[in-house]
Amino acid sequence: MSAIRIAVTVVGAAITMTRHPVVRAGISAVANNPKAREAAISATRNAAYNAGVIARHIVGRRIP
């Protein structure tokens, strides 16, 4: 499976999950709590960075 196809699948799953009522309630609870919000922002940034690192390892750096 190509990296693009995996990325599309992950994004589709994330969108589907955010539409669930329980997930929406959790998101709103985190948004109302400043400490939890900062922790969520930090975790999201770390996950995005790690995903970029993995993508660079899979795809490689192609500098023309």
53 part of a folded domain = yes
Q: What pLDDT score does 24 carry?
A: 86
Record the pTM: 0.54
43 part of a folded domain = yes
45 part of a folded domain = yes
Range of the domain at 8: 3-59
| Residue type (1 letter), 4 | I
**Number of independent structural domains in the chain:** 1
> Binning pLDDT at 50, 70 and 90, where does residue 36 land?
confident
40 part of a folded domain = yes
> Binning pLDDT at 50, 70 and 90, where does residue 63 land?
low
**For residue 1, is pLDDT > 80?**
no
Torsion angle of C-alpha atoms 10, 13, 14, 18, degrees rounded to 10: 180
64 part of a folded domain = no
